[in-house]
Amino acid sequence: MFKFIIIMEFMEIFACLNDYAGLLSLLAVLAAIIVPYRIYRKQRKDEIQSIKDELDAMGDVSLFPMSSSERDLYTRKFLLEKRLKRK
C-alpha cells in the first residue's frame, strides 16, 4: 500500500511537470542565451581593467634616449593604449 502511494505521488509530480513543460523549455532557452552573454561581458570588462592596470603600472616613459628595454616597454604601452581605445 505504501509503495502505491509513493508511485501515485510521483505520477502527480510528473503530471505537474508536464503541464509546465513549455514554460520550463522557455526558461532553459532564455538561460542558454543570457548566461553566455553575461560571461562574455564579464570577461571583456576584466580584460579592459587588466589593460588599464598594466598601463597604470608602467607610468610615463621618456622617449629620448631610449634603451632597448625602454623601447620594448614603450612599444607595449603603445599597443595597450591602442587596444584600450578599440574596446
- Given this model, what pLDDT does residue 62 score? 56
CA distance 6 to 16: 15
**Domain regions of the chain by residue span:** 2-86
- Given this model, what pLDDT does residue 36 score? 96
User: Per-residue pLDDT tens for 41-87?
Assistant: 999 999 989 888 887 777 665 556 667 777 778 888 888 888 887 76
Report whether pLDDT(29) > 60: yes
Q: How far is CA 46 from the centre of its chain?
A: 9
pTM: 0.55
Q: Do you find a cis peptide bond into 36, omega within 30 degrees of 0?
A: no
Q: Which positions ≥6 away from 84 have C-beta within 8 Å?
A: 48, 51, 52, 55
Q: Which residue has the higher pLDDT, 36 or 13?
A: 36
